[in-house]
Amino acid sequence: MNTTVKEIIKEAPAFAQLTDLAAERLGGKVLFATDDFFAEKENLIKPTRGIFITDKYTERGKWMDGWESRRKRTPGHDWAVIQLATSGKIKGFDIDTNFFLGNHPPHASIEAINLESSVGITDWENLSWKEILPKSHLDAGSQNFYESNSDEIFTHIRLHIYPDGGVARLRVYGEVFKDWSKVSSNESIDLVAAINGGKALACNDMFFSAMSNLIMPNRSINMGDGWETKRNRTPNNCDWVMLKLAHPGVAEKIIVDTCHFKGNYPDSCSIECCNRSDEDVMNNNVEWNELLSKQKLSADHIHEFSSEILHKQSITHIRLNIYPDGGISRLRLIGKISK
């Protein structure tokens, strides 16, 4: 890496706190790219920012952690198609060129489309794409944040780069859309899962890893793939995180998973709940009800609670409390929606 060039870090806009609808870990897929000679298209939606490994090469050239096409010697430009993990309203993008310094594309644009199914599609070019980000400048080695200019619901996007080069990561921030009219009130679902539209709203600490990891699919892959607070030396400390349910509902089972947390899991946890608006919750204009009383936790273990659930009415938000600090990898709130 050229040590005379500093990585450009930009302050993230508010929309970057929303769900990354394209994330691989949520279920997003890169379906097609015109060219990924130097670095695979699938890297675009991997977690964390791209990394750089000095002196790592492949038979095609320098190994790069992103999507990189070869130098174009013919008319045209390169593009890639990404299937979102879930349909949603796109609010903004981060086109991250981290470590792409002499080989980043100078411009990019993004189109989107809503497809019932993409199975069998081979001609991606001749679909009814809608431009939601016009051709825009990209800085090298930088997070490039842009807002979407459409509030429609989309399932796929197409990233254009002009004319060629490398992009480390693409984040597609937005709001999950789920057609709740198709969900039966007798069906048990994870009411807080990100894939259904659940959100991590706030917490008092996430020093080691992000609160949004709590509601990601599957079990965690390592200790960094969870919510972990710093060591707190205050007597009787309680760390907390507030989450919004994807849809108001009644809890039937709670799963607290401390996967990978062995010497740093919380001693115990409790959960509170309410049925209020986001504004009330964020302004602390809420009287919390006990959903799960204080329960002892174990290292690297799936804890399930059903008979212990105390609140049987419809709720909209929960607050997970951990005592005194530590890490939890996943939280599931299984229940039925309130129609």
31 and 78 in a single domain? The answer is yes
Which 3 state secondary structure label does DSSP give 42? helix
Q: Is residue 9 part of a domain?
A: no
192 and 274 in a single domain? The answer is yes
Q: How confident is the model at residue 6 (pLDDT cuts 50, 70, 90)?
A: very low
The residue behind tokens 């009330």 is 280
188 and 308 in a single domain? The answer is yes
203 and 162 in a single domain? The answer is no
What's the CA gap between 100 and 238, in Å, rounded? Answer: 42
pLDDT digits (tens, 9 = 90+) for 281-335: 999 999 999 999 999 999 999 999 999 999 999 999 999 999 999 999 999 999 9
Domain end, chosen from 153, 176, 199, is at: 176
168 and 193 in a single domain? The answer is no
Judged by average pLDDT, the poorest of 9-18, 82-91, 164-173, 283-292 is 9-18
84 and 159 in a single domain? The answer is yes
Q: Is residue 260 part of a domain?
A: yes
What is the number of domains present in the chain?
2
- Beta-carbon contacts of residue 60 (< 8 Å; ≥ 6 apart): 37, 38
Domain end, chosen from 148, 176, 204, is at: 176
Which 3 state secondary structure label does DSSP give 157? strand
163 and 248 in a single domain? The answer is no
Which 3 state secondary structure label does DSSP give 12? coil
CB 221 within 8 A of CB 315: no
208 exposure class (CB count in 10 Å sphere: 0-12, 13-18, 19+): middle
91 and 57 in a single domain? The answer is yes
Q: Is residue 104 part of a domain?
A: yes
Average pLDDT, the chain: 95
Q: What is the pLDDT of residue 25?
A: 95
Domain end, chosen from 176, 207, 224, is at: 176
Q: Is residue 5 part of a domain?
A: no
Q: What is the pLDDT of residue 10?
A: 56
279 and 170 in a single domain? The answer is no
Going by the DSSP 8-state scheme, the letter that residue 47 receives in this structure is S
163 and 285 in a single domain? The answer is no
Q: Is the pLDDT of residue 4 over 90?
A: no
Q: Which long-range contacts (CB under 8 A, 24 or more apart) does 57-66 make?
A: 62/38, 63/39, 64/38, 64/39, 64/99, 64/100, 64/103, 64/166, 64/168, 65/39, 65/98, 65/99, 65/168, 66/39, 66/97, 66/98, 66/99, 66/100, 66/166, 66/167, 66/168, 66/169
Q: Is residue 120 part of a domain?
A: yes
Phi, psi of 214 (to 5 degrees): -55, -35
Q: Is residue 2 part of a domain?
A: no
- Beta-carbon contacts of residue 146 (< 8 Å; ≥ 6 apart): 92, 93, 95, 133, 136
294 and 195 in a single domain? The answer is yes
85 and 197 in a single domain? The answer is no
Which 3 state secondary structure label does DSSP give 14? helix
Q: What DSSP assignment string belongs to 171-206?
A: EEEEEE---GGGS-TT--EETT-GGGT-EEEEES--
* Domain encompassing residue 194: 182-337
The mean pLDDT value for 164-188 works out to 97
Alpha carbon separation from 17 to 28, 90, 261 (Å, rounded)? 18, 13, 25
Q: What DSSP assignment string belongs to 219-247?
A: S-SSTTSSEEPPP--STT--EEEEEEEEE
Q: What is the pLDDT of residue 339?
A: 84
Q: Identify the CATH number of the domain in which residue 160 sits.
A: 2.60.120.260
Going by the DSSP 8-state scheme, the letter that residue 293 receives in this structure is E
- Amino acid occupying residue 124: W
pTM over 0.75: yes
Which 3 state secondary structure label does DSSP give 282? helix
